[in-house]
Each structure stands twice: as structure tokens, then as C-alpha cells.
Structure 1
Amino acid sequence: MRYSINLNIIRLLFFLMTSFVIFLLLSQWFYIRQALKEKETEIIQNTPFWQRKSNAELKDWHDISAMTRDAERSGLGEHGKAAYFTNLSKQKLQRELFKEHGFNALISDKISVNRSLPDIRDQGCQNLQYFADLPTASIIIPFYNEHLSTLLRSLHSIVNRTPPELIKEIILVDDFSDMSNLKKPLDEYVKLHLPKVEIIRFRKRQGLIAARIAGAVKAAGDVLVFMDSHVEANYNWLPPLLHEIVLNKRTAVCPMIDVIDDGTFEYTAQDEGARGAFDWILDYKRLPLLESDRKNRTKPFENPIMAGGLFAISREWFWELDGYDDGLDIWGGEQYELSFKIWMCGGRLLDVPCSRVGHIFRNDDWTGVTSDREDDYLHKNYKRVAEVWMDDYKYYLYKHTHGLYETINEGDLTKQLALREKLHCKSFKWFIENVAFDLVKSYPPRGITDFAFGQVRSLGAPKLCLDSMGPPDYRAIGVDACETMRLFPSRRQDWSLSESHDLRMRGEEYCLQTAERKPNSQLLLYDCSYGSKDQQWYYNRRHKWLVYGGKRHLCLEARPEFKQVVVNRCRKHYALMQWQFAHVNHTLLDAYFETLP
């Protein structure tokens, strides 16, 4: 009996010991597993998002429950429908606020800051999935005296339609607003309703560009998303942007910009998309979509120039590009500078059709934002961009503005030029030919359809070039020492055999004509008179002659000893009647006589 009791005790002890060992092993296994998991999480968090291996997993980021709740909403302006104000007693106030803000601020106050929007994406966008492991975003919104309800609607639309785990922070940058409700009332509202929003306040006006830079310096997210302060983000707008940046960290992406009507706040699509461009005074323009991009309306497409107000870019890539040029003042030119840098320095710029954000385009009657700057900061900005990035194409800009840039000091460009060299950026010619290849066709610079242009050098006296000999004040022209720049010399030596068949100062309205209309006559500059045979010139490439006056057989002749030019009977193999343009458009010149009026 005692033996049986002892055996049972041994069995119990063995069971307890075995259970304890198993417990220890399991505990250790769980501990090791948890430690490995934590280590893996730490590695993932400390690994740049474009190097993470988990990106292959895809996910549907739509918040179906929020979209369902929105579908059930009703009220003024809901579902992006037009809203109208019928209170006649407040029409005067409505007009005043309209002029102050550039949109109907009174109707904005009547619409919910949480209003619903129409999902106007291509139907294919609703079925797309994006990487499950997306980077976090810092959303940067500069503002100055923005109407409060419009600003709050911008913020709520972002918070309501963005997965919270993707928002690192929303940074508001107040550019020294003086409206009282944008101070303490805004702070209190944000603290109560929008906990992820931080506010930076300037102590003096610094402008849009400085505000964006300040927000970018403060930002801690993987991706910087720049927004305007009068927008409404649409459904699932952020994942498509982040997805493209994960694929290539040197990609900057823009949403499709829809229109919020400035009077009724109706939300509509602007169009089916276009590509950004510019003309030769740097006004923002648009190019049609390529045929290949029209075939799939959910696929991102390459865009030469961003509109500038709404875009996302990797924080690391933004700072590799040194952000914005900090010499740019207030606003203007920043979208060109960043677009050129992105493309020319190894990146790319995409528009993403499945990401849509509405934007209020202010009314033409808007009085605008005042500035205390007395200098012409806009054209100074443009000149900085042109001098750093546009190479010889900058002269097209300068020629189109009739001497505007000659008096503007662009400031120190040492840092910007060093950055371009450091990043081994491509030429502007490469950008025009490979990225904005159809820009020149849609927006030709003056002189692009000229038969010939640039410096005109005498072959008989090769150190001398055709020269206006001073301002174009109807004086006799002559020849003077050739400048170093041939294609885009100074105004004095820059000529064009224009599409109007005259020989003129390029980009000007001064044309070359004889004083006496006979041999041995000097040449003077007259006001251009289109179609006049007294101002008609032809470049004979075989003999290198500049032939004057249609069929008169008079040629331009250099007289080096007097630094003069005259016209005389054309003589073969006479070097002082031979001239060489810096550039000849042979295709156009072949058709010269066919294009005579």
C-alpha cells in the first residue's frame, strides 16, 4: 500500500515537473517570438519606406462605413450640390465678403464643415488596391486671413477622408493673419476637434514659399503633402499618391484638382485632366493628355509642370533637392523651380487620376492679398528660376518681356548653381525635348518660327557683327565687335529674319530698311510695317547674302573701316557681302518664297 502511494507521488511530481518545464519552454518561446516581432517592427519603422519588403501586400483603403454615413447626409450643400443664399437683407454683406475673400464666404458659413461630396472618380478607381504598408504623411497648409469656415472645412475633409494611421500630423502655417477668429478661436477649435493639427504662427508676413518651407522643416512624416487652405479632399485621395512614392521615392505626385464653385460651392470635375506647361512669360498653361494616357483613366501620367498648390513628395527627396530656393520671395515661380528640379535632377512628376481634391478658384473681382514688398518680387523669382535652370532658353523669356528683366537683380545664386552641379542635373534642352516635347508647338517662343535668328557675323570681317549701335531710335546701324554669346546675344546684336520676311531686332518692332532705297544706301531702323517690300529681306544660303527688297538684287555689305553697313548690287564671292546667322531654320527657309504675302 505504501509502495502504491509512493508511486503515485512520483507520478505527480513527474507530471508537475514536466508541466513546469513545458511552461518554461512555452514562456520562453512566447518571449522570443514577441521579442522577434518587436525587433521586426523596429527594423521596419527604422527602414526607409521605399526599402521595406512588406510592400508587396495590397489593401483596399476605402472607409466604406464613412462613405455610407456620408451617403445618408442631407442639407445645404451636401453631396457637393450648389447652395444658394436667398436672404435679401444680407446681400450687401455677401457682396463685401465675396470681394474680400474671392468666394462666397457667407454661403460657406451655412454649409456644414463636415459636408459630403460626390465620388466623381472613374469607376475603375473604386476597385483599386494600394500597398498595405504605406508611409506616413505630414500635411502642410499655409494660410493668410483665410475665411474660418472654409479653412475648417478643408481640415475636416482631410481628417474625415484619410486613414488616421497615414496622417503623422497636419501643420497649419499662419502667415501673420490679422483676423481675430484665426487666433484663439481657431486654437480652441483645433484642440477640441482636430487633435492631429499643429499651428505655426509667423510674427511677420513672409509669404507662401517661406510658409511651406517652415512647415517642411517642422514635418516628421515620411511624405510631405502640400495643400491650399480652401480645398476639400475627396474619398480615398491619399493612398494613390503614397503608393506611387513607395514605387519610386523620387516621384512627386499631384491629385486631380476639381472645382469648388466660388459662388455656390458646387463640387464638379474640372476636366478629364491635362498636363502642366508654361508660355514664354511664365504664365501657367496646360497641354492636352497624350493619346496613351487617355486609354486608361485610372493610370497616373507624366506631367511636365505641377500647378503648384497641391502635391506630395518624399520628405527625403524634397530635402535632397534642397526644398524650395529660399531666395524666392512671397509667391510665384516656385512650381516651375521645383518641377524643373524634379525632372532635370533624376526624378519624375505624375498626376494621379484616382486621387481627387476640390479647390476654390477665387473670383476675378478678388482684391488679392496685399504685400509690403516694394520691389517686383514676382519677376525677381522668375529670373532666379531662369538663371539657374533654363540655360539659354532664359533668353526667350527675356526677349518676350521687352527689357523687363534687365533692371532686376536676381540676387546670389551660388547655392542653387552648386546644387545643380552636385546632383548632376540634365540640361533644360533635355527637359524641353524629352519631358515637355510638345510645349514649343503649343506655346512657341517668339522667333521659333523665324527663318533665321541670333548674331549675324560678317564673313569678310569675322570679328564684326551686325549691331544696332545703340538704342533703336531710327539711327543708322553698323557692325561692331562680336559678343561671345551667338544664339542669344545682347539686344544690340540679336536679329531675326522673321516670319513676316523682315530683318528686325528679335522680339522688337524695329525693322531694317534703307534710307534712300537705292545702291550705296545706309541702313536704318524703322517701325516694322508688315508686308512692306521696303522691309523685305531674304537669306541666300548658297552665297551667304542678305538680299534686300524683293527682286532689287541689293545685298547687305559691310564696311569695316567705318563700322558701317550699306546695300549694293550683289557680287559673287565678295566676302564683305557674306553673312552668317547664328541659327538658320532650313526647313522654313526652304519654303520662304511660298510664304510671301
Structure 2
Amino acid sequence: MRRKEKRLLQFAGLLIAALLFLPNVGLWSLYRDRVFDNSPDTVDGPGGIPPIQGLNHMRKVAQVGPDGVRRTDWHDYAAMRRDATRIGNGEQGKPFPLTETDQVDQAYRENGFNIYVSDRISLNRSLPDIRHEKCKQKLYAEKLPNTSIIIPFHNEGWSSLLRTVHSVLNRSPPQLIAEVILVDDFSDKDHLKVALEEYMTRMPKVRILRTKKREGLIRTRLLGAAAAKGEVITFLDSHCEANINWLPPLLDRIAQNRKTIVCPMIDVIDHDNFGYDTQAGDAMRGAFDWEMYYKRIPIPPEMQRDNPSEPFESPVMAGGLFAVDRKWFWELGGYDTGLEIWGGEQYEISFKVWMCGGRMEDIPCSRVGHIYRKYVPYKVPGGISLAKNLKRVAEVWMDEYGEYVYQRRPEYRHLSAGDMTLQKELRNRLNCKSFKWFMSEVAWDLPKHYPPVEPPAAAWGEIRNMGSGMCMEIKHFVSGSPIRLENCVKGRGEVGWSHGQDKSLYHPVSNSCIDSSPSERRVFMNSCDPSSLSQQWLFERTNATVLEHFNRGTN
């Protein structure tokens, strides 16, 4: 009997111990999950991706901001963790080790980049997360508009095109992708016909549109935009790779202001070895010079931010990578359909959005890699010139500043740019601001990099002698150059002058002013100095009303 009592007491003791101990095990597990799994790790994970709250952090953080908008963490940590473990050719965006065989000219001939190397890299390759650290902690609106991704292509390489599509689908929240539209601009490569159709059957969100003739980049994008169903249109080139969490930062800015066009940071995918890296200088403002070449200039000190992960304004975009509210895009008239093939469209859409009530931003927390070709591998059909597009942009949008373009590109002056009536009517209908406003309010820092930018305030053109019919010009663009008379040649920049509000007589091509030496009774060219009385000249009579109307482009 005593033995049974002893066993009963032992069983009761074990039961009591279990009741006391097991709940504490559960509490310890809960504590461990909440504290240790969510504590910041001290060592970077594979591929330089911080384990964070890193790759172990699987809970979606959400908070309501002072504006009442609920924001969330859009990162896909499971996908980031998978990418961090990938090894192989080109993984983590590392350069492919090239051999002499890999670098033969034939590898570049059809695409302008090394297709042999591209074909040896995974279509799902991993990329380095090179964003600013603060980008990795950012929350974006929980409710974001969805988007149609439009990717035009012409005779694109198989692997480079598919890698673009895979990167978009792999690194975008599925609920934000309404569709991916591939627009084939009359390609004649076999791999872009039936094989592409069959491959894309496994991707239900992808559809293919095809033009019936060679339309060029601009009208091909318009075709995709016209077919888009998403609330936002996102344009990408056909040889890109979207990086980690690239899409929510773009859509978040449009959700805050639908009249904002947003551009990702465009990283460089090397055309030889497919290494992935930032552009020189990384985040910089988009700009242009008076020959209409695209430039990148440093963010001016006046715009420097404490937080380099924040969006910043840019006067013009680089080109084909941007997102825009679909309805706003069409309110702006889309692209000008009079622009041919490619070139100039980035200026047209940039000037238009700023001058007609919108804004444009670059988004440092959104990064997309792009292959910059070694050379353009195909011919532009019909011999159509970029000059026609730039002339058209200058005539419709640049007002009196177009004169600076003509001074540097005199061949544009008498070039036909087609009928621009509809574009000018659109500008009037949208009540767009002047280009002078754009230069003073948006592109105000350009004078520091590419003078001159201030148009003549009073008069500009040739200084022509009525007796001889000859014009004033200078022969050498250096200080001290004498002024002389030469035959007037319409459109030649050397005979162009301007008379400004500072009373200078300015020569835009040489970026210098007429100076005088009364003691020597001579005039000559010198560096402009607005405070110098020897450089100030007066017209006896001016008609301010006529000049004001002329500056506005009215009769």
C-alpha cells in the first residue's frame, strides 16, 4: 500500500512540475521570437544584404502617420533571403569573368551588348542591394495604385528581354502589377515570334502587342499606353533589371500627388560583363545643354538634404524609365505623335509636365539597372533625323530660348518639323507656363553649369549695318577679340547678339560681351561683367509693349 502511495505522490509531483514548467517554456519561446528574432543582427548576410531586422524579420510592420495614411513595409524578405544565397555566373550582380572568346565582335553585333555573356547568366539572377540604409527602413502607403508595366522592344536579345520580365515579376508585390505589356516594334528575329508567345503562356500577367510596321520607340510606347488598364503606367526599356523593392517608392509618390512623374535611379549594367553598379556620381539632377545633349549635374547645395533617401526634383528625365498616372499622362496628351522613332521625347514630356501643372522627381529608394549599349545595333528607318524632333520640341515648348538651340545648331533653324498646331493648342488649353518660368523656377541651377540660360530681355538677332548690309561678328572667341563686319549669313550663330536688361550687348556663342576703351576709341570682346559701365549700351528708343508681346509669342 505504501509503494502505491509513493508512486502516486511521485506522479502528482511530476504533474505539478509540468504545470509550472511548461507555461514558462511557452513564454520563453514567445519572448525569444519577439526579442531575438527581431533584434538587428550585427553581421551582413550573403551578398551584402543586411539580415535586419533583416532577412529574419518576416512580420509586416504597419503604422498610421500624422496624415492619417496607414503605411506598411513592402519588402519581400523571403525573396531577399533566397536571392542572398544564390551563387553562380553574374549572381549578386558580379561581373562575368570574360575570356577572349566571349569578347568577339559578333557577340555585340545584334544587340550592342555581349549577348554571349547574357545567355550564360540566370534569368532570375540576384542583384546587390545598393540602396541607402534608410531606404531599407521606409514604409509606404498600404493602399497603392496598381500599374501596367510597358516594355517596348525591337529585335531584343532573348535572355536580356526575359531577364527584364523576370526581374519585374520577381521583385514587385503581385497586387501592384496589373499587367506587363511587351510591345514588339516589328521585330524580325525568330526567337521573338512563336517561341516568345509560348514562353509567356506561363506568365498570365504578361501579354504581347505587335506593331504592323516599324513605328519607333515613341509611338510603340504610346501603343502600349493606349492598351494599358492599370491606374499607373510604368515604362521600362527591354534590357533592364528591377532591383529590390523598386516599385512601392514610385507608386507612393504618385498616390500622394497624381500629377507627379517619378523616375527610379538608373544603375549601370556593364555591356561587356554584366556587372551591376551605380552611375558615376549616383544621384544627380537631369539637365541639358543648348545643343540638347542630356547631362547629369550634381544636386546643388541649396537642395542638399539631411536624408539622401528622400525624393528630389529633376528638370528633365533621362528617357525611358518612369512612372506616371495613366489619366494624367493622357491629360498631357501623351507623347507628341509628331516625334519620330526616338530622341527628344524625354525633353518634350519633361517640359510639358513642369510647365503644365505637374512635377517630376527622382526616387533614390527605387533602383533599376539598365544596359547602356556599346553602339546602336540597328538603323533608323527612312533616314529620319533626331534634328527634326529637337526642332519640334524647341518650337512648341522653349519659346525664345529656342534661339540658343539654333545658335548652336544653326542647321535646325530652317528645318521642317511638321505641323505643330495641335501641340500648340494643347499648350494653350492646359494654360501652361512659359519656358522662362521653367528655367527660373525648375532649372535654376543650370547657369552654373551651362551658361548662358537667361534669354535676351530686350532684343536679339543680328546687328546689321543698313548701308552695307553687313553684320557685326567676331572671328576668335577670346577676350580682346576685335569686332568686325562680315557678310550676313542667316542662321549662323557667329552673327547672333542679344541686348539684355543689364544693357549689355552679348554674344551667346562666345559667351562674352562687347566692351569699350574710350581712351583708345575702340570696342572689343571681353568676359561679361554686369557692373562694368564700359560694357553697358543703350538703344535710343525701344517699344516695351512690342517686346513684351514678342517674348510671349503673341501678335
Q: Give the structure-2-normalised TM-score.
A: 0.74
| Residue 493 to residue 419, structure 1, CA distance change in 2 (3 Å) | farther
- For 1:338, the equivalent position in structure 2 comes to 349
User: Would you say 1:300 and 2:311 are equivalent positions?
Assistant: yes
User: Would you say 1:186 and 2:186 are equivalent positions?
Assistant: no
- For 2:464, the equivalent position in structure 1 comes to 466
| Residue 305 to residue 494, structure 1, CA distance change in 2 (3 Å) | farther
- For 1:354, the equivalent position in structure 2 comes to 365
Offset from partner CA, 1:515-563 (integer Å, 9 cap, x none):
xxxxxxxxxxxxxxx9xxxxx9645xxxxxxx8xx7443799xxxxxxx
The answer to whether the 8 Å contact 2:515/2:523 transfers is no
- For 1:114, the equivalent position in structure 2 comes to 124
- For 1:454, the equivalent position in structure 2 comes to 460
User: Would you say 1:102 and 2:81 are equivalent positions?
Assistant: no
What secondary structure does 2:92 align onto?
helix
- Show the 5 A alignment for 1:16-55: none
- Show the 5 A alignment for 1:321-400: 321-363=332-374, 366-376=375-385, 378-400=386-408
| Rg comparison, structure with higher value | 1
| Aligned mate of 1:553, from 521, 526, 534 | 521
Amino acid of the structure 2 residue aligned with 1:442: H
Shift of 1:261: 1.0
- For 1:66, the equivalent position in structure 2 comes to 79
User: Would you say 1:149 and 2:159 are equivalent positions?
Assistant: yes
| Aligned mate of 1:404, from 408, 411, 416 | 411
- For 1:288, the equivalent position in structure 2 comes to 298
Rounded Cα–Cα distance in structure 1 between residues aligned with 2:408 and 2:421:
26
Shift of 1:374: 2.7
What secondary structure does 1:466 align onto?
coil
What secondary structure does 2:383 align onto?
coil
What secondary structure does 1:140 align onto?
strand
Offset from partner CA, 1:95-119 (integer Å, 9 cap, x none):
2122332211101000000011111
Rounded Cα–Cα distance in structure 1 between residues aligned with 2:119 and 2:169:
19
Rounded Cα–Cα distance in structure 1 between residues aligned with 2:121 and 2:404:
47
CA RMSD of aligned residues (A): 3.1
Rounded Cα–Cα distance in structure 2 between residues aligned with 1:199 and 1:388:
34
Rounded Cα–Cα distance in structure 2 between residues aligned with 1:451 and 1:338:
27
What secondary structure does 1:433 align onto?
helix
- Show the 5 A alignment for 1:465-544: 466-467=464-465, 476-477=468-469, 500-501=479-480, 502-503=482-483, 508-509=493-494, 538=515
Rounded Cα–Cα distance in structure 2 between residues aligned with 1:467 and 1:410:
32
- For 1:177, the equivalent position in structure 2 comes to 187
| Residue 341 to residue 325, structure 1, CA distance change in 2 (3 Å) | same
User: Would you say 1:123 and 2:133 are equivalent positions?
Assistant: yes
Rounded Cα–Cα distance in structure 2 between residues aligned with 1:229 and 1:205:
16
Rounded Cα–Cα distance in structure 1 between residues aligned with 2:311 and 2:225:
25
Shift of 1:447: 9.7
The answer to whether the 8 Å contact 1:451/1:585 transfers is no
Shift of 1:590: 3.8
Shift of 1:410: 1.2
- For 2:6, the equivalent position in structure 1 comes to none
Amino acid of the structure 1 residue aligned with 2:360: L
Rounded Cα–Cα distance in structure 2 between residues aligned with 1:195 and 1:362:
30
User: Would you say 1:319 and 2:294 are equivalent positions?
Assistant: no
| Aligned mate of 1:414, from 411, 416, 421 | 421
Q: Which has the higher mean CA deviation after the structures are superposed, 97-106 or 65-74?
A: 97-106
Rounded Cα–Cα distance in structure 2 between residues aligned with 1:80 and 1:91:
18
Shift of 1:123: 0.8
What secondary structure does 2:118 align onto?
helix
| Residue 413 to residue 496, structure 1, CA distance change in 2 (3 Å) | farther
| Aligned mate of 2:146, from 136, 143, 146 | 136
What secondary structure does 1:116 align onto?
coil
Shift of 1:441: 2.3
- Show the 5 A alignment for 1:584-595: 587=530, 589-590=532-533
What secondary structure does 1:252 align onto?
strand
Rounded Cα–Cα distance in structure 1 between residues aligned with 2:442 and 2:306:
20
The answer to whether the 8 Å contact 2:406/2:493 transfers is no
Shift of 1:269: 1.5
| Residue 130 to residue 290, structure 1, CA distance change in 2 (3 Å) | same
Amino acid of the structure 2 residue aligned with 1:157: S
Shift of 1:431: 0.4
- For 2:60, the equivalent position in structure 1 comes to none
| Residue 168 to residue 510, structure 1, CA distance change in 2 (3 Å) | closer
What secondary structure does 1:58 align onto?
strand
Rounded Cα–Cα distance in structure 2 between residues aligned with 1:555 and 1:295:
50
What secondary structure does 1:121 align onto?
coil
The answer to whether the 8 Å contact 1:300/1:352 transfers is yes
What secondary structure does 1:587 align onto?
coil
Rounded Cα–Cα distance in structure 2 between residues aligned with 1:494 and 1:336:
32
| Residue 123 to residue 414, structure 1, CA distance change in 2 (3 Å) | same
Amino acid of the structure 2 residue aligned with 1:151: L
Shift of 1:57: 1.0
- For 2:430, the equivalent position in structure 1 comes to 423
Rounded Cα–Cα distance in structure 2 between residues aligned with 1:153 and 1:511:
51
Q: Give the structure-1-normalised TM-score.
A: 0.69
User: Would you say 1:234 and 2:218 are equivalent positions?
Assistant: no
| Residue 162 to residue 511, structure 1, CA distance change in 2 (3 Å) | closer
Amino acid of the structure 2 residue aligned with 1:587: P
Rounded Cα–Cα distance in structure 2 between residues aligned with 1:591 and 1:247:
53
| Residue 190 to residue 451, structure 1, CA distance change in 2 (3 Å) | closer
| Residue 417 to residue 493, structure 1, CA distance change in 2 (3 Å) | farther
What secondary structure does 1:83 align onto?
coil
What secondary structure does 1:257 align onto?
strand
- Show the 5 A alignment for 1:573-588: 587=530
Shift of 1:586: 6.8
| Aligned mate of 1:212, from 217, 221, 227 | 221
The answer to whether the 8 Å contact 2:340/2:389 transfers is yes
Shift of 1:260: 0.7
- For 2:446, the equivalent position in structure 1 comes to 439
| Residue 419 to residue 159, structure 1, CA distance change in 2 (3 Å) | same
The answer to whether the 8 Å contact 2:311/2:363 transfers is yes
Rounded Cα–Cα distance in structure 2 between residues aligned with 1:499 and 1:511:
16
Shift of 1:198: 0.8
The answer to whether the 8 Å contact 2:115/2:157 transfers is yes
- For 1:21, the equivalent position in structure 2 comes to none
The answer to whether the 8 Å contact 1:161/1:237 transfers is yes
The answer to whether the 8 Å contact 2:135/2:365 transfers is yes
Shift of 1:368: 3.1
Shift of 1:510: 6.5
Amino acid of the structure 1 residue aligned with 2:413: E
| Aligned mate of 2:289, from 276, 279, 283 | 279
Rounded Cα–Cα distance in structure 1 between residues aligned with 2:332 and 2:458:
38
Offset from partner CA, 1:343-367 (integer Å, 9 cap, x none):
001110000000000111111xx25
